[in-house]
Structure 1
């Protein structure tokens, strides 16, 4: 039998099939060759990513940004030669203004060691006198990304890397999993579905929350999620295809159904009720409690600030998630047009709290593509005390920006529950990759800080960063651009911070111990 005849026979059969079907016009009008169009369309993102786009062209992260994360995580050369390929005149471009002589650290300074984390200048929960205040050991930490959205091996890799460096790991709204228990500090995110702390009817269970925090002393704080940058007011959904028996048990949800997070909380619907809920959780667990939110209208933020002044109660920290954030999939209109990007979102909220003299009572956390030294420094200058990194952390452990997180077909195993695809992740290796990335990010943040003449990034001011405004190529300081000057953060030196009994990362009172 001549097997070569099967090829033309197959082509004829395919052509007949194409002509007879009416679902795809291109295939009907152009039998056989019409399939090429769909093939090219399917691999179009890969063609653009690897062959067509230049280093600064792609979104959400361009090739230059990804290359820096990959090189940093692998301890490869992350420098660039022959000058910058950036357009210095583009609107929004930032320039960090260094000091003429900078700051030379004295011998014996803790930040002369390698690696050397930078603790948060503030202590979370100190103002409201929580039973268990918390000072994060690192100003750079892992943003909320749920087990279920990310794979078990991805979560394990991030947690082990975080433990090695000393940063905290936010669980995301999927709750605490076994893969968050490899030693790092943990902040438990509580979303609208109350995963992990819900009863059989899906309502919040204080009893379960108390048990979770009592049984797991590495939980250092609770984050009440109001919304996230990618889809504020939309809620969330974990596809049924990504729900395993283990995820079902952790979240207390049924198998075989999409796990839906409502758009809004059922425990409260007013600012007063929300603050009462925060205070109840803080009193019952002893932990600091904060809120995470994207920003749109600001009337309720104003109401929250006024209520905090009036009562002395409220969140211990506030995480502002920029609209450009997005470790979760979202409808395009929500992802592209609902909620303000970080720069505008953060400045609006910070100015409200500054007006009511609340800025040093709250720890401010920034989130939304801040996992690069220059963007983190801008956030610190604007008033952030901490920055959370999400997708940059994913890239450090292998994510290639395939943008198929919602399909359960992540080719690198980072955002899938498929055991086959996860098999390519070695947590021992990938945890080192994340550790290297966050260590490098921290190192460059410190280097820029010292170049500006400061010891700690909390000392950065709105006058230390200029932004291109697009008017005859003029630049303006952040203070002029956004209309405020950041409130000075009390700071007595890094050595003093490292001696705090509330220091996280397993480092509490480390100078007292070593000295």
Structure 2
């Protein structure tokens, strides 16, 4: 053997490892950063030991703690997602900590005896979407957990495809975000088409809304509902911006804009300028497309909500669903002041909106959807108790397909190929393998919600009440969730007919 070959021998294993990393499809980080990417997993493996002495606790990191991310990662991979040796949270001294109150006895059948439907663990919504107003396309969503709005453009084609395939496998709906429908959205999941202030995908050459185009898009399917985006938790009242680096030829074609240039969405719509004209537009879209139509908004000044409820109570117009987004910041990048200080956090914002509908006696007329870190079981349970009929998940489903909370979504340098249009980075994400993980996560979240529901003595998360949770006041006392938010008896629950129907569905024969 020549001296040159001898010198090369120590490097052959590294070269072999690099070649394997480049062709494997399970880990986007390794495909994008062969060999050196293994350091991330090595550090992750010894992370608890390192943090115990020199870094931070498992429940200290934000916006998602290491424990929360670990639960999502383990759930998506069907690994052990249990935690041993007690809680990391300081439950005795944390002000505002929610505690779920289990029941000793219950008439609810054990989970092993409950009919979970054709998809194994499908948990349908407690209300019909569009049913109250008799929309031709009214339906009962098959999942109480669905995918929130994240557009093609903000996310890569591979990420959109993986999430759509995963949602389809889990029987969940996939919200398109305001960027329109691409071919990557058409892998089996039912879609909620979001219409933003720039009317992407349903606008003319001058950027104005065009009804004919919207009807064509809806008819092309599988669009089950339309969501009008008024604002979102990441940047309420600000509008949006897709940097020019992310505006590829394909994205430009779908949105009807120019490639390579910053794509700005204004903060307000041009098709309506008041609550009254908004409802006129809602009824127009519903009449022309036949599908349920709702709105999405973060919660700030309540004047809009007061007027909306008054008009819905006194006229024959109304939205079919309301998606309330928490002001904690979400998948969209924004100035720090907007993500941290503009609009109310989810629990307070949602409670104030729900109260308006409940006091008017029309809460049963609307399907309520919550979003804003509700992809974690404890947060979701609080949302259902407050009156949510469904929850939407965004950052959590991103984590299920590999997001490591690098917080580089706005730079086009996402290391896992999720929030980027960089071809090299995006190629590391294999949609087929990641779709399985998205589906596993969605199913696991529903399973845990069912377990908690049964612990509370009810058959469905939508039947959990504000009396089933207490909010701790440090180590001194606790107050029921109902008292904290000023709810009256039976607020937050479906009416007796819907409650009986969903109980019958969940406790049907195996």
Q: TM-score range by the shorter chain?
A: 0.7 to 0.9
Matched, 1:65 2:73: no
Matched, 1:265 2:269: yes
Match of 2:139 among 134, 137, 151: 134
Q: Which residue of 1 aligns with 2:328?
A: 324
Q: Point out where structure 2 has 5 or more consecutive residues left out of the alignment.
A: 1-43
Contact 2:240 2:266 in 1 (8 A): yes
Contact 1:226 1:292 in 2 (8 A): yes
Quote how far apart the aligned CAs of 1:441 are: 0.6
Contact 1:105 1:112 in 2 (8 A): no
Quote how far apart the aligned CAs of 1:374 are: 1.3
The one-character-per-residue Cα deviations of 1:42-101 (angstroms, maximum 9, x if unpaired) are: xxxx9x998522201111001010000001101111111111111102012110011112
The one-character-per-residue Cα deviations of 1:280-314 (angstroms, maximum 9, x if unpaired) are: 00000001000000000101110010000111211
The one-character-per-residue Cα deviations of 1:117-150 (angstroms, maximum 9, x if unpaired) are: 1100100111111111021100000000000001
Matched, 1:491 2:499: yes
The alpha-carbon distance between structure 1 residues 491 and 177, as it changes in their structure 2 partners (threshold 3 A), is: same
Within 5 Å, which residues of 2 pair with 1:227-306? 227-306=231-310
Quote how far apart the aligned CAs of 1:175 are: 1.2
Matched, 1:361 2:327: no
Quote how far apart the aligned CAs of 1:498 are: 7.9
Matched, 1:449 2:416: no
Give the SS at the match of 1:81: coil
- For 1:236 and 1:197, the matched residues in 2 are separated by 17
- For 1:104 and 1:488, the matched residues in 2 are separated by 20
The alpha-carbon distance between structure 1 residues 96 and 287, as it changes in their structure 2 partners (threshold 3 A), is: same
- For 1:106 and 1:87, the matched residues in 2 are separated by 30
Match of 2:168 among 160, 163, 167: 163
Within 5 Å, which residues of 2 pair with 1:38-437? 52-88=55-91, 89-102=93-106, 103-105=108-110, 109-111=114-116, 115-216=120-221, 218-437=222-441
Give the SS at the match of 1:492: helix
Within 5 Å, which residues of 2 pair with 1:7-26? none
Give the SS at the match of 1:260: strand
- More displaced stretch, 334-343 vs 85-94: 85-94
Give the SS at the match of 2:467: coil
Give the SS at the match of 1:111: coil
Contact 2:294 2:322 in 1 (8 A): yes
Contact 2:466 2:492 in 1 (8 A): no
Task: Specify the structure having the higher radius of gyration (Cα).
Answer: 1
Give the SS at the match of 2:399: helix
The alpha-carbon distance between structure 1 residues 335 and 137, as it changes in their structure 2 partners (threshold 3 A), is: same
Contact 2:329 2:340 in 1 (8 A): no
Q: Which residue of 2 aligns with 1:19?
A: none
Contact 2:388 2:492 in 1 (8 A): no
Contact 2:384 2:492 in 1 (8 A): no
Quote how far apart the aligned CAs of 1:107 are: 7.4
Contact 2:417 2:426 in 1 (8 A): yes
- For 2:438 and 2:173, the matched residues in 1 are separated by 13
Q: Which residue of 2 aligns with 1:502?
A: none
Q: Which residue of 1 aligns with 2:7?
A: none
- More displaced stretch, 108-117 vs 474-483: 108-117
TM-score, length of structure 2 as denominator length: 0.86
The alpha-carbon distance between structure 1 residues 149 and 437, as it changes in their structure 2 partners (threshold 3 A), is: same
